[in-house]
Amino acid sequence: MEQRYHPELVEPKWQAYWKKNQVFKVTEDSSKEKYYLLEMFPYPSGKIHIGHVRNYTIGDVVVRYKRMKGFNVIHPMGWDAFGMPAENAAIDNNTHPAAWTYDNIRAMREQLKRMGFSYDWDREIATCRPEYYKWEQWLFLKMLEKGMAYRKESYVNWCEKCQTVLANEQVEQDKCWRCSQTVHQKKLWQWFFKITDYARDLLVHCDELPGWPDKVTVMQKNWIGRSVGSELKFKIDGRNDDITVFTTRPDTVFGATFMCIAPEHPMVESLSKGTSKEAEVAAFVQKVSSQERSAEGLEKYEKEGVFTGAFCINPATLEKIPVYTANFVLMGYGTGAIMSVPAGDQRDFDFARKYGLEIRVVVQPEGENFDGNTMKEAYTGEGLMVNSGEFNGLDSKKAMDAITGWLEKKGRGKKTVSYRLRDWGISRQRYWGAPIPVIHCPDCGVVPVPEADLPIKLPEDANLLEKGGSPLPGLDYFAKATCPECGRKDAKRDTDTMDTFVESSWYYLRYCSPRYDGGMFDPEAVKYWAPVDQYIGGVEHAVLHLLYSRYFMRVLNTLGMIDFKEPFTRLLTQGMVCKETMTCPEHGYLYPEEAVRNDEGKLSCTRCKSHVEVGRVIKMSKSKKNVVDPNELLEKYGADVTRLFSLFAAPPERDLEWSEDGVEGSNRFVNRVFRLALECMEKFNNTMFATGAFTGSAFELESAKAKELYIKANQTIKKVTDDIDKSFHFNTAISAVMELVNALYAIDLDSADDELKKVILFSLENIILLLSPILPHFCEELFEKLGKKGSILEQPWPEYREDCLETDEVLVVVQVNGKLRSKFTIGAQTNEAKIKETALADKKIKKHIGDKDPKKVIIIRKKQTLVNIVV
Partner RNA sequence: GCCGAAGUGGUGGAAUUGGUAGACACGCUAGACUUAGGAUCUAGUGCCGCGAGGCGUGGAGGUUCAAGUCCUCUCUUCGGUACCA
> Site residues for RNA, window 826-845 (CB under 7 A)?
844
* Of the residues 338, 628, 706, 760, which one makes contact with RNA according to CB under 7 A: 338
Instruction: Give yes or no for residue 425 binding RNA (CB under 7 A).
Output: no
Q: Answer for the pair 188, 156: CB distance below 8 angstroms, yes or no.
A: yes
H/E run at residue 56? helix 50-68
Q: Which is nearer to RNA, 81 or 268 (CB)?
A: 268
With CB under 7 A as the contact rule, which of the stretches 58-66, 149-157, 365-373, 660-668 interacts with RNA? 660-668
Q: Which is nearer to RNA, 335 or 470 (CB)?
A: 335
* Of the residues 150, 301, 355, 591, which one makes contact with RNA according to CB under 7 A: 301
Span 495-554, contacts to RNA by CB under 7 A: 539-540, 542-543
Instruction: Give yes or no for residue 818 binding RNA (CB under 7 A).
Output: yes
| Distance (Å, whole) CA 124 – CA 515 | 10
CB of 776 to RNA, least distance (A): 20
Q: Which is nearer to RNA, 457 or 846 (CB)?
A: 846
| Distance (Å, whole) CA 720 – CA 773 | 11
Q: Is 441 helix (H, G, I), strand (E, B) or coil?
A: strand
* Of the residues 10, 199, 262, 701, which one makes contact with RNA according to CB under 7 A: 262
Instruction: Give yes or no for residue 749 binding RNA (CB under 7 A).
Output: no
CB of 720 to RNA, least distance (A): 11
Any residues with CB less than 8 A from the CB of 342 and at least 6 apart, and which? Answer: 255, 257, 348, 349, 351, 352, 353, 357, 358, 359, 360, 372, 378
* Of the residues 21, 22, 173, 222, which one makes contact with RNA according to CB under 7 A: 222
Instruction: Give yes or no for residue 614 binding RNA (CB under 7 A).
Output: no
Q: Which is nearer to RNA, 86 or 262 (CB)?
A: 262
* Of the residues 428, 719, 758, 777, which one makes contact with RNA according to CB under 7 A: 719
Instruction: Give yes or no for residue 179 binding RNA (CB under 7 A).
Output: no
Span 197-216, contacts to RNA by CB under 7 A: 214-215
Instruction: Give yes or no for residue 12 binding RNA (CB under 7 A).
Output: no
Binding mask 137-176 for RNA (x = CB under 7 A): ----------------------------------------
Instruction: Give yes or no for residue 47 binding RNA (CB under 7 A).
Output: no
* Of the residues 9, 167, 330, 841, which one makes contact with RNA according to CB under 7 A: 330
| Distance (Å, whole) CA 581 – CA 615 | 5
With CB under 7 A as the contact rule, which of the stretches 354-362, 429-437, 464-472, 661-669 interacts with RNA? 661-669
Binding mask 676-715 for RNA (x = CB under 7 A): ----------------------------------------
Provide the H-helix boundaries in 116-258: 130-145, 199-204, 214-224
By CB under 7 A, the count of residues binding RNA is: 90
C-alpha count within 13 angstroms, C-beta hemisphere, residue 686: 1
The DSSP string of 715-727 is HHHHHHHHIIIII
How far from the centroid of its chain's Cα atoms is residue 742's Cα?
A: 38
Amino acid at 595: A
Instruction: Give yes or no for residue 732 binding RNA (CB under 7 A).
Output: yes
CB of 422 to RNA, least distance (A): 9
Q: Which is nearer to RNA, 470 or 573 (CB)?
A: 573
Instruction: Give yes or no for residue 184 binding RNA (CB under 7 A).
Output: no
**Across-strand partners of 258?**
340
| Distance (Å, whole) CA 706 – CA 698 | 8
CB of 790 to RNA, least distance (A): 30
| Distance (Å, whole) CA 152 – CA 266 | 14
Residues present in the chain in total:
871
Instruction: Give yes or no for residue 651 binding RNA (CB under 7 A).
Output: yes
The dihedral region occupied by 223, where left means phi > 0, alpha psi between -120 and 50, and beta the remainder, is alpha
Instruction: Give yes or no for residue 819 binding RNA (CB under 7 A).
Output: yes
With CB under 7 A as the contact rule, which of the stretches 97-105, 219-227, 273-281, 801-809 interacts with RNA? 219-227
Q: Which is nearer to RNA, 227 or 558 (CB)?
A: 227
Instruction: Give yes or no for residue 849 binding RNA (CB under 7 A).
Output: no
How far from the centroid of its chain's Cα atoms is residue 3's Cα?
A: 43
| Distance (Å, whole) CA 679 – CA 675 | 6
- HEC string for 88-148: HHHHHCCCCHHHHHHHHHHHHHHHHHHCCCCCCHHHCEECCCHHHHHHHHHHHHHHHHCCC
| Distance (Å, whole) CA 634 – CA 663 | 12
Q: Is 175 helix (H, G, I), strand (E, B) or coil?
A: strand
* Of the residues 118, 247, 404, 497, which one makes contact with RNA according to CB under 7 A: 247
